[in-house]
């Protein structure tokens, strides 16, 4: 008989691991914005490990976007419970029930309830996985976008805020007025210096609202940096049925991930923190060397793979990752261009890390899609790959491989593949990117002259020369021949 997940049915689940603690004793002292697959495979998993020894660090999830309504409807009937399935390259499968999310609020239903939960003295950390684009800043200038209509509305309209910035800042204002110490704002997004970015953007919003409040936040709120890593694809359509067939559990929205996981966290908190080092988190003084390694090798490596892979006809990451040309491109990009821009990492063998990445990309059990890697490129390339290009140019190094990756993005963004089939460009800037990519057919630098994405890279011959060669080759010879010549 199949068992729907809930607190009531949890004792009857005996074949797979379940929370080894009394969930009724868990206090939701962490409020998390952006409960998606990655958060549930990563931060929530680590806290689930910790709650057995310290019930003070449960999670209240918060959704602010229309898409989050579905997560509300999935989690609330299950009392926040869900299954996490880890799939190993050798075919081994592990499924467990995660119990660290003990409440969920959908802000459009009741923004006041979200603000009061944030303002409650029991809330000690506000964490974020709102994606690279959720911080409302220009990739080229780093400036907060005060003209965003949502931000304008939150600052000017006499009604409850709707943005993460508005909700969090209003809660901090109430904490200040009530004499309650500030919570920590902890970013878990794939941005270099994510804590610095969170600090800059939240302070920018606060200054637009109230300079004195901004000064209080500046003095009292901590924004630790972190590096997070676990490949977590979008939940496959058949995963729920698979979990039910294998375990008998009915889960409205299960999660699947690779076995590898890493979290490096700066020890900088306003209001106490969980002892995450007890459950495998690396709590350190400086995250920067770790995050650079991950962002410039793993994340930029995904971008190096995905556009060429799509043009070659691949639709799954593991298939593309064992293609000889693509595997060579990945290894050479990581070793020759990414690795030289990293900072020293005591006790870390970067070449071993690169080997591990290539193995992880090739894991067939994860079934990660090329489409997932290609989406939101305008939020990814400027943060992950462009900094590598800039550092290499500053040091006089070659950027032939990274330039070819940018060319592959340009070719992909034209919206038509090598067989004339339409490509769906899933990007918040698609309406700008696709015309620019097509314009570059007659004006070759049109795409990379978009300063919001590339700054002044189009003015650097050391970048434009290999970029233009790769782009012309992609259009006239195709992806396979371009890779063969590039890698020769």
C-alpha span between 254 and 223 (Å, rounded): 30
Q: Is the pLDDT of residue 368 over 80?
A: yes
What is the average pLDDT across 449-476?
Answer: 97
Sign of CA dihedral 159, 195, 385, 281: negative
Q: How many domains does the chain have?
A: 2
Please name the helix (run of DSSP H) or strand (run of DSSP E) that holds residue 404, with its range, or none.
helix 400-413
Please name the helix (run of DSSP H) or strand (run of DSSP E) that holds residue 125, with its range, or none.
strand 125-128
Quick one: 280 and 292 in the same domain?
no
The string of DSSP codes covering 93-115 is EEEEEE--EEEEEETTT-HHHHH
Quick one: 227 and 350 in the same domain?
no
The string of DSSP codes covering 278-326 is GGT-EEES--HHHHHHIIIIIIHHHHHHHHHHHHTT--BHHHHHTSHHH
What is the average pLDDT across 109-135?
Answer: 95
3-state secondary structure at position 36: coil
Quick one: 119 and 57 in the same domain?
yes
C-alpha span between 82 and 103 (Å, rounded): 13
Cβ neighbours of residue 28 closer than 8 Å, sequence gap 6 or more: 58, 59, 60, 102, 103, 122, 123
Quick one: 238 and 382 in the same domain?
no
Condensed to tens digits (0 to 9), the pLDDT of residues 224-281 reads 999 999 999 999 999 999 999 999 999 999 999 999 999 999 999 999 999 999 999 9
| CA-based nearest residue to 333, from 404, 233, 438 | 404
Quick one: 36 and 162 in the same domain?
yes
> For residue 1, what pLDDT is reported?
76
What is the average pLDDT across 171-178?
Answer: 98
Place of tokens 């997560």: 71
Quick one: 255 and 350 in the same domain?
no
Quick one: 256 and 385 in the same domain?
no
Quick one: residue 325, left, alpha or beta (phi over 0 = left, psi -120 to 50 = alpha)? alpha
Residue 263 sits in which domain range? 3-284
From residue 220, alpha-carbon distances to 14, 178, 183, 223 in Å are: 46, 14, 9, 10
What's the predicted TM-score (pTM) here? 0.85
| Tokens coding 419 | 């067989």
Quick one: 278 and 307 in the same domain?
no
SS3 labels along 219-268: HHCCCCCEEEECCCCCCCCCHHHHHHHHHCEECCCCEEECCCCEEEEECC
Q: Are 300 and 409 in contact (CB under 8 A)?
A: no
- CATH (domain of 198): 3.40.50.720
> For residue 140, what pLDDT is reported?
61
- 34: DSSP letter: -
Please count the CA atoms within 13 angstroms of the CA of 55 that sit on its side-chain side: 10
Quick one: 231 and 152 in the same domain?
yes
Quick one: 323 and 218 in the same domain?
no
What is the average pLDDT across 381-390?
Answer: 96
- 470: DSSP letter: H
CA gyration radius for the chain?
Answer: 23
Per the model's pLDDT, the better-predicted residue between 435 and 159 turns out to be 435
Sign of CA dihedral 308, 312, 317, 323: negative
Cβ count near 122 (within 10 Å) = 13
State which of 246, 266, 284 marks the end of a domain. Answer: 284
- Work out the widest C-alpha separation in the chain, in whole angstroms: 67
Cβ neighbours of residue 178 closer than 8 Å, sequence gap 6 or more: 119
Q: Strands 184-187, 125-128: parallel, antiparallel or unpaired by DSSP?
A: parallel
Condensed to tens digits (0 to 9), the pLDDT of residues 124-163 reads 999 999 988 889 987 666 789 999 999 999 999 788 999 9
| Tokens coding 183 | 């919570």
- CATH (domain of 388): 1.10.1040.10
Cβ neighbours of residue 15 closer than 8 Å, sequence gap 6 or more: 247, 248
Quick one: 199 and 294 in the same domain?
no
| Tokens coding 92 | 């081994």
| CA-based nearest residue to 221, from 143, 168, 153, 147 | 168
State which of 258, 284, 310 marks the end of a domain. Answer: 284
> For residue 139, what pLDDT is reported?
61
The string of DSSP codes covering 131-183 is -GGGG-B-TTT--B-TT-HHHHHHHHSSS---SHHHHHHHHHHHHHHHTPPPP
Mean residue pLDDT of the chain comes to 96
State which of 266, 284, 302 marks the end of a domain. Answer: 284
C-alpha span between 205 and 218 (Å, rounded): 12
Quick one: 252 and 360 in the same domain?
no
DSSP β-bridge partners for residue 438? none
């Amino acid at each position: 008989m199949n068992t729907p997940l809930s607190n009531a049915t949890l004792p009857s689940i005996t074949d797979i691991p379940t929370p080894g603690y009394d969930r009724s004793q868990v206090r939701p002292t962490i409020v998390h914005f952006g409960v998606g697959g990655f958060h549930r495979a990563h931060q929530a998993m680590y806290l689930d490990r910790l709650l057995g020894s310290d019930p003070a660090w449960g999670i209240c999830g918060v959704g602010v976007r229309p898409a989050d309504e579905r997560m509300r409807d999935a989690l609330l009937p299950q009392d926040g419970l869900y299954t996490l399935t880890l799939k190993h390259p050798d075919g081994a499968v592990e499924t467990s029930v995660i119990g660290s999310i003990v409440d969920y609020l959908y802000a459009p239903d009741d923004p006041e309830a979200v603000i009061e939960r944030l303002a409650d003295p029991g809330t000690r950390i506000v964490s974020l996985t709102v994606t690279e684009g959720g911080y409302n800043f220009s990739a080229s200038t780093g400036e907060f976008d005060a003209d965003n209509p949502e931000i304008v509305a939150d600052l000017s309209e006499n009604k409850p805020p709707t943005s993460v910035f508005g909700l969090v800042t209003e809660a901090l204002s109430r904490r200040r007025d009530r004499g309650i110490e500030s919570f920590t704002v902890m970013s878990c997004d794939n941005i270099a210096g994510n804590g610095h970015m969170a600090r800059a953007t939240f302070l920018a919003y606060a200054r637009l609202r109230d300079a004195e409040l901004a000064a209080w936040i500046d003095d009292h709120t901590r924004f630790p940096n972190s590096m997070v890593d676990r490949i977590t694809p979008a939940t496959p359509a058949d995963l729920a049925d698979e979990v039910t067939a294998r375990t008998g559990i009915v889960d409205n929205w299960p999660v699947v991930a690779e076995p590898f996981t890493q979290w490096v966290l700066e020890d900088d908190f306003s209001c106490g923190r969980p002892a995450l080092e007890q459950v495998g988190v690396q709590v350190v003084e400086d995250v920067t060397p770790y995050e650079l390694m991950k962002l410039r090798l793993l994340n930029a490596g995904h971008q190096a793979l995905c556009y060429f892979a799509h043009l070659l006809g691949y639709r799954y990451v593991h298939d593309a990752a064992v293609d000889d040309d693509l595997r060579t491109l990945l290894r050479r990009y990581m070793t020759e261009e990414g690795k030289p821009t990293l900072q020293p990492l005591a006790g870390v063998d970067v070449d071993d890390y690169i080997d591990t990445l290539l193995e992880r990309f090739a894991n067939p059990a994860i079934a990660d899609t090329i489409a997932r890697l290609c989406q939101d490129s305008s939020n990814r390339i400027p943060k992950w790959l462009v900094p590598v290009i800039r550092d290499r140019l500053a040091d006089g190094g070659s950027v032939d491989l990274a330039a070819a990756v940018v060319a592959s993005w340009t070719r992909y963004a034209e919206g038509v593949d090598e067989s004339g089939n339409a490509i769906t460009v899933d990007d918040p800037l698609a309406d700008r990117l696709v015309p620019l990519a097509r314009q570059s057919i007659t004006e070759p630098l049109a795409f990379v002259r978009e300063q919001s994405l590339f700054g002044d890279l189009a003015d650097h011959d050391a970048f434009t020369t290999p970029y233009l060669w790769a782009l012309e080759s992609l259009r006239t010879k195709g992806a396979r021949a371009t890779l063969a010549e590039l890698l020769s």
